A = this chain, B = another copy of it.
Amino acid sequence: MIQPNIPESGLPRVVIVGGGFGGINLAKKLKNAPVQVVMLDRNNYHLFQPLLYQVSTAGLETDSIAFPLRGIFKHQKNFIFRMAEVTGVRPNENILETGIGELKYDYLVLATGSTTNFFGNKVIEEHAIGMKSLIEAVQIRNYVIKQFEESLLLNDEEQIRAKLTFIMVGGGPTGVELAGAFAELRKYIMPKDYPELPVDLMKIYLIEGSPRILNGMSENSSQRSLESLEKLGVTVLCNTVVKEYDGRTLLLSNGEKLISQSLLWAAGVKGVPVTGISSNIVLPNGRIQVNEFNQVQGHNNIFAIGDIAQMVNDPKFPKGYPMVAQVAIQQGANLAGNILKMRKAASTLNLKPFKYNDLGSMATIGRNHAVAEFAGMKLSGYFAWMVWMIVHLMSLLGFRNKLVVFSNWFYRYFTFDRGTRIIIKRGAANIVKLRQTVQ
């Protein structure tokens, strides 16, 4: 019989669901606490999502942005990891239901992150490509290279254009960085790898619903990134929403039609709440309402942190904090302190409310081009790009990953090449099979 096999330590058990930025920071901060920390994740690694777009555009290898969770905590004695899917919670009994059996908890922390949000549009969901997991990033990379390989086999220009038109939806950092990376593929890789295909057959669109891209940053940064993208040949459409998409024809809110076989969806994320948490406290975007201590409403010993948690305690963020790594990291740290306080005082008095320290934000558009805002400064261009690289490199977990990512970037900077443009596939002849279903 399968069972979690987690020994009773005599200490209260903190079960953390999810090994993302929030979960691992919380677990780390509980290192010397008199608790047993149990982390569950469906994967056995922490994924550095901010660089996922570089995997999907053949700039980095998959394994260089993933770090084994067991490796992070190998010196932490009160830490136990199990690879498991959580299926539900029974709050009255303090029991978590998982694919490997039931687990008793004293404190439960939901740090499950978010998934791609198609805002209920099932047809778009079926045909668009999301980008939240490592396997999705690899699939995008495979798919993109296949579009080029298959274009060589066609003579009809319209069919080729449909294959070589790439549409990103969502003008946040992910959409902007993705569009920039595609523009660099066109500029540096396409002429070398596919000299038979005229470069102007490839088109890149970035579609944003609001009046400007990177609308979480200043107007100045928006403007500069818009200019950089347009200079790289990206068509940016603001105030525009995708109405319909059938895998080939895209209808925009302005009535315009685009033909493309590749719609990359970076227009939003949503939480995935756990069965057993009352739907009354779950918002339409899947986030769970928590108080200023990250406590899930109505439950003293259940918490939610990061993307899955909706906390409204700052007038600057009336709809809750942004779904970014920094919020998750800081909420994890704050919650660790509060769990320690609860252990000492055996009550929920004197807990420290969460206060968000906005460290700034940034986005890279391409070689030597980025925008960054932090500590009251607004940077753009080469210096912002250097800052972007250093911050991301330092934030990556593990010396090996830093070394491999740095090696790739270093190589790319001087050669204008992208090393990992390979298609890893299961079947043998599936390039032909795929084409037959697509046509």
Contacts and interface: CB of A to CB of B under 8 A. Distances in A.
Interface centre among A83, A149, A410, by most chain B C-beta atoms within 10 angstroms, is A83
A85 to B, nearest CB: 4
A194 B401 CA distance: 22
A163 B407 CA distance: 37
A403 B68 CA distance: 22
Contact of A44 (B2, B149, B400): B149
A411 B42 CA distance: 27
Contacts of A99: 429, 431-432
A102 to B, nearest CB: 13
Copies in the complex: 2
Interface in A406-430: 407-408, 410-411, 415, 417, 419-426, 428-429
Given A68-B422, A407-B400, A411-B400, A100 B153 contact: yes
A312 interface: no
B192 A74 contact: yes
A82 interface: yes
B400 A419 contact: yes
Given A71-B417, A155-B3, A404 B61 contact: yes
Contacts of A2: 150, 153-154, 432, 435
A425 to B, nearest CB: 7
Contact of A149 (B83, B85, B432): B83
Contacts of A3: 153, 155
B45 A422 contact: yes
Given A44-B421, A67-B422, 14 more contacts: A5-B154, A44-B422, A61-B404, A62-B62, A62-B63, A70-B192, A70-B421, A82-B152, A84-B432, A85-B432, A138-B424, A400-B417, A400-B419, A407-B407
